[in-house]
Every structure is written in structure tokens, then in C-alpha cells.
């Protein structure tokens, strides 16, 4: 609090001194140039003798009784008080103040996902861009579908159940890049190869995946296999930018608080994880980037991520 006041004079605070029940005079003099004028029970007398018109209370929340006594003493003397609640720093939440009848209520919002901008602006942008891209890329999509159909038996699309916003399940679409018996082959390979098993449970991907078809390797390297997810975006199941939607088996492996945090946002075709190394990053790295995105979302962050996605796809960095 001292640092915030003394280093930001533009806010209009002129610090007269401090009240502290344990620290003696001179303790804060060297770093902040302010004196300890007395103890908290002397608040009324000291504010009167130093012509103070406002008291800022910056005590830890465990000192709740002392905080209420200071507010009451200042209120009886007509002195304005401001309280700096320290529990928001620990919770890493953004507080806002509102009123419930005559009661002041502090709201700790852990992310901006309930904002008008997220619900309306982001959704409008998703609809416009996904529809435009589907129309523009339709010839390419048709060629890719034909190549997949001719290269190996099986369907053109691969639809896998993923976890979406608020824990809702949906079928995420991709161009099929693997053999029809991919799951059975994976189970057999993991049972036979310990090193492969370790790689799978670290990244939930394999660099040299034996299940991938020749055309599948190309569309995965170039991320063309992800294009059908524009349909998911148009449906409102996904967004252009957001935390990557996880398969159920992967979703169950992460910590409960991370699962809840990720569910606040629409899952995305691309995200901070993808443009920061994609599958080269560990699961821990993914969780940290997803947390940052959910807590710091802005429309500008989405636009920046989309711009960074282009060179990441061209490089094929981290794609498998």
C-alpha cells in the first residue's frame, strides 16, 4: 500500500504518516520517507492534530475486529475511511463493489467471461469469421475431403467427444487423419512400449504416431485437419480462440480447480498454448496459459492470438 501511494502521486494522495501498533518511528523513513505517528487507537487524535481528511486502512483480514473499530471511530468523528482488503491479492480475483439494498457487497470475479464483450462481441466475431472462412475455403475443404476418402477406408470426418464450456460435452470435428482402427492400435502399442506409454501420458500425443495415414500426416502438420471445427464455432460449441477442448480421458487427469477454471470459457480452435509452443509445452504449461487467458481475457488478446496463430501454423511448431 505504501509503495502504491508514494510511487503514484497522480492519484492525489498526500501521505501524512502511519499508524502502527508494533513498528516504531523511523521504520518506514528510509524506504518511503514517512513517519509512524502513533498507534491505531489514537487515530482520532492524530488525524485531528495533523489535519488529516482521510484514513486508509490496510490491515490483514485477520484483524477484522480492529478494522471495524477503526471505521467506527472515524465515522463518529466524521473522518472518511478507505479499506484495502488483502484477501483479493491472495485469491487473484478482480473485486467490484455493488449494493444489495443498503448493504455494500464486494464481488470477486475470477474472470471476465461474464462480461458483455465476451458474450456479445466475441460471439458476433466468431459467427462472422467462421461463416466467411467456410465460404472462402469451401474448394479447399472439398479437395481435402476427396483426398482423405481416396487415401484410406473410413469416414471423412472424425468426431470426438470433448468437454466444452460449463462442462457440456460436444462432438468436435476434424478431418480424419488416422486409420479406422486407431484406438485399438494405440491400446496395443501403449501396452507393448513403456517409452511410448510415458510420452503419451506426458503430452497425450505421440510424435511418431503409427496410427496416422500419409495424408493425415500432412493435414496434421499444416493444421488443415482442424478446419472442420469452424462448424463447431458456427454452432456456438467452440470459439476461434480459447482453451483447447480436451478429450474426456485428458480432462479427468487435470486438477479439479483447473477443470472448473477452463470450463468458464468457450474452447477454442487456437489459443495461447498453441501459439506458445503447442504440443511442445508440458501439461503444466498449458494449464498456466489457460489460467492467464481466462483471468485476463480481452477482445484484443483474442485478436493478438489469431495473428500469432498464422506463423505458428506455417512453422508447424509443436504439431504432431
Going by their DSSP bridges, the two strands 157-163 and 103-109 should be labelled as: unpaired
139-149 burial string, b = 16+ CB within 10 Å, else e?
eebeebeeebe
Tell me the C-alpha distance between 12 and 181, whole Å: 69
| Residue 31 pLDDT | 72
Give the ranges where the chain is alpha helix by DSSP (H).
2-6, 29-32, 43-49, 64-76, 87-91, 116, 122-136, 138-151, 182-192, 194-203, 214-221, 229-235, 248-251, 256-262, 272-275, 283-296, 299-315
Count of CA atoms in the C-beta half-sphere (13 A) of 232: 31
Going by their DSSP bridges, the two strands 103-109 and 94-100 should be labelled as: antiparallel
| Cα separations in angstroms, 114 against 105, 111, 119, 237, 288 | 18, 8, 7, 17, 21
| Residue 89 pLDDT | 57
Per-residue pLDDT in tens (0 to 9) along the chain, 320 residues: 677 777 777 878 888 888 888 877 776 776 777 888 889 899 989 888 888 888 988 888 788 888 899 999 888 888 889 888 776 555 556 667 777 777 777 766 656 887 888 889 999 999 999 999 999 999 999 999 999 998 888 899 999 999 999 889 999 999 998 887 767 777 777 777 777 777 666 666 667 777 788 898 899 888 899 999 999 999 999 999 999 898 887 777 788 778 888 888 999 999 988 887 655 556 677 788 888 898 889 999 999 999 998 887 777 654 54
Q: Which residues pair with 285 in a beta bridge?
A: none
Tell me the C-alpha distance between 48 and 231, whole Å: 68
How do the residues of the chain divide into helix, strand and coil, expressed in percent and rounded to 5? 55, 15, 30
Amino acid at each position: 500500500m505504501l509503495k502504491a501511494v508514494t510511487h503514484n502521486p497522480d492519484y492525489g494522495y498526500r501521505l501524512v504518516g502511519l499508524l502502527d501498533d508494533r513498528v516504531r518511528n523511523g521504520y518506514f523513513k528510509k524506504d518511503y520517507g514517512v513517519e509512524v505517528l502513533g498507534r491505531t487507537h489514537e487515530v482520532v487524535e492524530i488525524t485531528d492534530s495533523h489535519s488529516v481528511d482521510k484514513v486508509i486502512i490496510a490491515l490483514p483480514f485477520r484483524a477484522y475486529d480492529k478494522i471495524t473499530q477503526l471505521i467506527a471511530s472515524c465515522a463518529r468523528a466524521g473522518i472518511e475511511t478507505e479499506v484495502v482488503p488483502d484477501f483479493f491479492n491472495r485469491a487473484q480475483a478482480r473485486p467490484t463493489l455493488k449494493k444489495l439494498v443498503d448493504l455494500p457487497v464486494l464481488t470477486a470475479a475470477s474472470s471476465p467471461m461474464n462480461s458483455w464483450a465476451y458474450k456479445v462481441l466475441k460471439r458476433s466475431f466468431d459467427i462472422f469469421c467462421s461463416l466467411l472462412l467456410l465460404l472462402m475455403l469451401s474448394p479447399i475443404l472439398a479437395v481435402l475431403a476427396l483426398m482423405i476418402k481416396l487415401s484410406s477406408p473410413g469416414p471423412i470426418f472424425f468426431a470426438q467427444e470433448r468437454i466444452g464450456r460449463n462442462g457440456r460435452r460436444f462432438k468436435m470435428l476434424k478431418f480424419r487423419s488416422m486409420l479406422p482402427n486407431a484406438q485399438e492400435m494405440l491400446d496395443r502399442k501403449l501396452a507393448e512400449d513403456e517409452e511410448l506409454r510415458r510420452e503419451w501420458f506426458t503430452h497425450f500425443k505421440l510424435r511418431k504416431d503409427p496410427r496416422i495415414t500419409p495424408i493425415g500426416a500432412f493435414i496434421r502438420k499444416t493444421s488443415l485437419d482442424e478446419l472442420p471445427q469452424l462448424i463447431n464455432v458456427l454452432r456456438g460449441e467452440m470459439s476461434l480462440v480459447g482453451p483447447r477442448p480436451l478429450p474426456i480421458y485428458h480432462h479427468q487427469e487435470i486438477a479439479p480447480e483447473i477443470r472448473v477454471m477452463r470450463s468458464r470459457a468457450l474452447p477454442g480452435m487456437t489459443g495461447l498454448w498453441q501459439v506458445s509452443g503447442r504440443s511442445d509445452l508440458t501439461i503444466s504449461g498449458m494449464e498456466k496459459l489457460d489460467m492467464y487467458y481466462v483471468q485476463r481475457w480481452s477482445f484484443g488478446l483474442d485478436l493478438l492470438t489469431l495473428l500469432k496463430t498464422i506463423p505458428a501454423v506455417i512453422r508447424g511448431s509443436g504439431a504432431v
